[in-house]
Structure 1
Amino acid sequence: MTKPPLTLYLAAPRGFCAGVDRAIKIVEMALDKWGAPVFVRHEIVHNKFVVDGLRAKGAVFVEELDEVPADRPVIFSAHGVPKSVPATAEARQMIYVDATCPLVSKVHIEAERHHDNGLQIVMIGHTGHPETIGTMGQLPDGEVLLVETPQDVAGLTVRDPAKLAFVTQTTLSVDDTAEVVAALKARFPGIVGPHKEDICYATTNRQEAVKAMAPKCDAMLVVGAPNSSNSKRLVEVGARAGCAYAQLVQRATDIDWRALAGISSIGITAGASAPDVLITEVVDAFRDRFDVTVEQVVTAEENVEFKVPRVLRQPA
C-alpha cells in the first residue's frame, strides 16, 4: 500500500543546549573520576530518557542533600540551587560539583549585585520550578518577589517602589515575559532591568524557529518532558503562532496518530533537554507511516560551549 505524502519540517535549532550538554558531561565525568555511585540532587536535566541513562551508569538521583552519604560526591542540577545547599555540603565536608548552567549563574550574580546596591528584586518565573527556587534562594527571604503574570504585578506589595530591579527565569516564553516586563515598567517606571536579556539564547532560538515553522504546519510536535519549562513554552509558542494542533511528546510511543489523521505537513522540534536520539525516533515513526519529505527550518546557528568545572579536569 502506498504511504500518504507528508512534508516534515524540522526546526533548527532544536534539542540539547550547551548548558544541558555540560550538565550531562559533568555527571559522566564524575562517574569516571570517582566511580559509582555519584549522587545528583534533583534531576540533572528535565528529561526521563537522559536521567534513566545516567542512572544505569551509576548516578543516584535524590531530592535533598540529607539523602546523600557524606563520603560520596554530589552534583547539583543544571537548574541551580539555593545558597543553603552548597553551604550544607561544605559543613558536611562533602565533595560537590555544581552543574548549574552558566546562564542561570549569571542571573544569580545579577540578583546579588542588585541586592548589594540596596534594591529589592522582582523575579519573573514559574512558582515551584527548581530554577526559580534556586535563584530566589540566593538572597534572604523577602528580598526576591515572584511574579508569573501581568495580574501578579498589579497585586505586588514592594518595600520601596523607587528601589526595584527585575530578573527572569531563563526558560520562559519571550512574548509572555515581554508582557510582564511591560506591566512592571508601567507600574514601577524606575525599575532596573538586566543589561542583557535573562531568557537564554537556546530558549529564544528554539522559540524563534517554532514561530517560523508553525504557519507552514497542519500540526506540530515538541519532543520534551512534561516537567520541562522550555519544552512546554515551545508548545504554547507554536499554538500562538498559528499551528492548529501543537502537542508535547516524550517519545514516539506518545504520538496520537488518530489526531494526526489526514495531515499533509508536520513540524517537529525539541526542548533543550531532549536528546537527538528521541527526535530521530519520532521522525522515524513518521517515515514508517508516511512518504516523508524533510525540510529544515533554520533560524539560527549555535556554537556555544561551556567548560566543565575545574575539579573534573584534575586527576583524582
Structure 2
Amino acid sequence: MEKRRETPYVNTMTALTVHLATPRGFCAGVDRAIQIVERALELYGAPVFVRHEIVHNKHVVDRLKAMGAVFVKELDQCPPDRPVVFSAHGVPKSVPAEAQSRKMFYLDATCPLVSKVHVEAERQHSEGREILLIGHAGHPEVIGTMGQLPAGAVTLIETVEDAKAYQPQNPENVAFVTQTTLSVDDTADIVAALRERFPSIKVPHKEDICYATTNRQEAVKAVAGDCGLMLIIGSAKSSNSQRLVEVALKAGTPNAYLIDDASHVDWTWFDGVTSVGVSAGASAPENLISDLIDAIRARFDTEVIESSGVRETVTFKLPRVLTEA
C-alpha cells in the first residue's frame, strides 16, 4: 500500500505584533484598597460594607461581592454594627464625621497620594489662600478633595479656558492642587495658563499627579506611535484609564479604545492592522490583560513584545488595626 503523504501544516493566520506597555494595571493605592476589604472580610466576616466602588473596576467589585462585600452609595445604607470601608478615591470630611456620630467602625482606604492632596489643600487654605483644584467635575476624588474644605472654598478648574476665566479676589494669594489621575500633558497646559496669569501662585511641594498615572501614560506614549491600534483595559468610570486612551491617540495611534475586558473587543478594529498596543488602567487586574492576549493569539499569528518601562516598587501599609489584629 502506498504510504499516505501528510499535507504540511501552513499557518494561514494573519501575523500581528502586540506591544505590551510596561508598567500597566494595578498601582500601590489600588492594591492597598483591595487588601483592606479582603483583610476586613477575613477578620470580621461578611458582610463588610463599602461606600462606593472600592476602585473603578467591575471585575474587582464583583470578586469582592462574591467574598461578602456589600457596596452602597451612602452610609445610611449601612448598619451601625458592621465594618464599613471608604473607597480609594477619598471622601469628604462629612463622611467620617457621620460614621463617628453613629459610632461605626470604619476603615479608610483612601490612596495615600490622594490624602497628600487633601493635606496640601488644607494647608494652603489655612494660610489664607484661594484654592484651585484642577480636575474633572463629578469624579469621586474631586468630590472628596473639595469636601476637605468649607463649601465654596475650592474652585474647580477643568480646562485652560477655565484657568483663563478665573477671577480671584486677590491674584497674589492663589494656590492650586490637582486630581491625581489627570493627563500629564493637559494638566501642564492648564498650570502654564495659571502661572502666566498668576506668577506668584503657590504650587504643590511635589507633583500631585501620582507616579502610577505618570508611568502608565509614559509607557503608552512609548509604544503608541508604532501601533495601528491601541487597546486599554479599564472601566469607563476610571479617569486614569480614559486618559490612557487620549494619550495613545495624541501619541500617534490612529485608533484607541477603552474596553472592560476581551469580550468587549470588536474584532473589525483589527482589519488592516499589523501591530496593536495593549495596556491597562491602574485599577485593572493583570488577568484581564492575559485573557486579552489569549483572545488575540486565538485569532492571529501573534508575537508579543513587552516594553521596558519603569519598574514600580512602591507599596503602602495597611491600617494598623488590620495588621495588628
Same fold (TM over 0.5): yes
Which residue number corresponds to residue 88 of structure 2? 78
AA matched with 1:304: V
* 1:1-316 superposed matches below 5 A: 2-315=12-325
Q: Distance in 1 between matches of 2:21 and 2:142?
A: 28
Q: Distance in 1 between matches of 2:87 and 2:124?
A: 25
Deviating more after overlay: 113-122 vs 238-247: 113-122
Q: What's the offset of the Cα at 1:141?
A: 1.1
User: What SS does structure 1 have at the residue aligned with 2:176?
Assistant: strand
Q: Distance in 1 between matches of 2:308 and 2:153?
A: 41
Q: Give the alignment's TM-score, normalised by structure 1.
A: 0.98
User: What SS does structure 1 have at the residue aligned with 2:252?
Assistant: coil
Q: What's the offset of the Cα at 1:261?
A: 1.2
> Is the 2:229–2:269 Cα contact (8 Å) retained in structure 1?
no
Q: Distance in 2 between matches of 1:297 and 1:148?
A: 32
AA matched with 2:321: V
What RMSD over aligned residues (CA atoms) do the two structures have, in Å? 0.8
Q: Distance in 2 between matches of 1:226 and 1:185?
A: 32
Q: What's the offset of the Cα at 1:299?
A: 2.2
Q: Distance in 1 between matches of 2:307 and 2:184?
A: 19
User: What SS does structure 2 have at the residue aligned with 1:6?
Assistant: strand
User: What SS does structure 1 have at the residue aligned with 2:144?
Assistant: helix
Q: Distance in 1 between matches of 2:253 and 2:230?
A: 7
Q: What's the offset of the Cα at 1:29?
A: 0.2
AA matched with 1:28: E
Q: Distance in 2 between matches of 1:299 and 1:37?
A: 40
Q: Distance in 2 between matches of 1:47 and 1:179?
A: 29
AA matched with 2:85: I
Q: How many residue pairs were aligned?
A: 315
User: What SS does structure 1 have at the residue aligned with 2:215?
Assistant: helix
Q: What's the offset of the Cα at 1:189?
A: 1.4
Q: Distance in 2 between matches of 1:3 and 1:305?
A: 42
Q: Distance in 1 between matches of 2:12 and 2:286?
A: 29
**Structure 1: gaps of 5 or more residues:** none
Q: What's the offset of the Cα at 1:262?
A: 2.1
Q: Give the alignment's TM-score, normalised by structure 2.
A: 0.96
Q: Distance in 1 between matches of 2:145 and 2:299?
A: 45
Q: What's the offset of the Cα at 1:159?
A: 2.6
Deviation string 1:238-263 (CA, Å, 9 cap, x unpaired) is: 00000001100101011111121121
Q: Distance in 2 between matches of 1:286 and 1:245?
A: 17
AA matched with 1:179: D
AA matched with 2:64: L
User: What SS does structure 2 have at the residue aligned with 1:258?
Assistant: helix
Deviation string 1:263-309 (CA, Å, 9 cap, x unpaired) is: 11000000000001111111111000011111111221101100011
Q: Distance in 2 between matches of 1:232 and 1:71?
A: 38
Q: What's the offset of the Cα at 1:154?
A: 2.0
Q: What's the offset of the Cα at 1:162?
A: 1.1
After the TM superposition, which parts of structure 1 deviate over 6 Å for at least 4 consecutive aligned residues?
A: none
* Higher-Rg member (1/2): 2
AA matched with 1:234: L
Q: Percent same amino acid at aligned positions?
A: 63
Q: What's the offset of the Cα at 1:111?
A: 0.6
Q: Distance in 2 between matches of 1:45 and 1:109?
A: 21
